[in-house]
Structures are given as structure tokens and as C-alpha cells.
């Protein structure tokens, strides 16, 4: 498998978490995994389209360097999505929230932290596959 193909598969891997979490959806880990698609699925899907479009004629080295920026981009997309949700709810339902941006910042920060863990795992797996000879340029 080429390194670029590996990165493409890795980009779709966050959609697998909710599938694995569904059978254990009553337990805390299952709630987290299934809830991740609700909280971050739409912003990540939009970000994924842009990333796949950007990756078309890039080298594996270029993709590997820029994958470190993915959590920050996701944090921006997630924060914007959550803010728009609060604005919509306040406008349509006339709801008021005591501290909506505290919640948005909390969600964004955790999104960035979780995504940096994901990037670390992807780079470790890539390094392992490279050493085993399963990846090539």
C-alpha cells in the first residue's frame, strides 16, 4: 500500500469509532464513541472533503507534515459548528444559555486534544507499517 493510500484510509477511521461503540452504547465508552459522531460528524465530514480535495496532487511527505495541523483545523470547524448551533437555538427557540461560549471552548479544546491523540496513533501505525515493509512511497 502506498503511504498516501494509508493516509486516506486513516482519514476515514474516525467514522469507525461510532460503529464499534454502538454495541456498548449503554456504557460510558460507548456513549462517548456514539456521541462523537453526533457532536463532530458534520464538521469533520466537511473538513474531510476539503482535505481529500487538497491531497490530490501532494506528496506523502507534504501530507505527513500537514497532518499535524488537522486537530487545529478540526477544532476551528467544531467550534464554529457548535457556535452556530447555539446561535440557531437562541434565534429559533428563543433559548438563553448562561455561558454558551464556555461550552463551545470546552468542546473545542477536547476536540483538539482527542485529535492530537488520533494523529499520534496514525503516525505510530504508519511508522510500524513502514518498518514492516507494508508501506512504500
pLDDT number for residue 85 = 77
pLDDT tens-digit readout, 27-71: 877 777 777 777 778 888 889 999 999 999 899 999 999 899 999
CA separation, residue 136 to residues 2, 126, 132, 133 (Å): 5, 11, 10, 7
84-104 mean pLDDT = 72
Q: What is the pTM of this model?
A: 0.80
pLDDT number for residue 99 = 66
59, three cell numbers: 506528496
Weakest-pLDDT range from 44-58, 76-90, 108-122: 76-90
- What's the alpha-carbon Rg for the chain, to the nearest Å? 17
Q: Concatenate the DSSP letters of all residues of 60-123 into one string.
A: HHHHHHHGGGHHHHHHHHHHHHHHHHHHHHHHHS----SSHHHHHHHHHHHHHHHHHHHHHHHH
Domain ranges for the chain: 3-132
Amino acid at each position: 500500500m502506498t503511504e498516501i493510500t494509508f493516509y486516506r484510509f486513516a482519514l476515514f477511521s474516525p467514522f469507525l469509532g461510532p460503529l464499534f461503540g454502538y454495541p456498548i452504547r449503554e456504557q460510558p465508552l460507548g456513549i462517548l464513541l456514539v456521541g462523537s459522531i453526533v457532536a463532530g460528524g458534520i464538521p469533520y465530514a466537511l473538513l474531510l472533503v476539503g482535505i481529500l480535495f487538497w491531497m490530490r496532487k501532494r506528496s506523502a511527505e507534504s501530507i505527513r507534515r500537514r497532518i499535524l495541523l488537522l486537530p487545529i483545523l478540526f477544532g476551528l470547524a467544531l467550534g464554529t459548528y457548535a457556535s452556530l448551533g447555539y446561535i440557531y437555538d437562541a434565534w429559533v427557540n428563543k433559548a438563553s444559555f448562561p455561558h454558551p461560549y464556555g461550552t463551545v471552548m470546552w468542546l473545542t479544546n477536547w476536540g483538539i486534544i482527542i485529535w492530537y491523540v488520533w494523529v499520534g496513533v496514525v503516525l505510530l501505525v504508519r511508522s510500524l507499517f513502514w518498518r514492516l515493509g507494508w508501506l512504500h512511497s
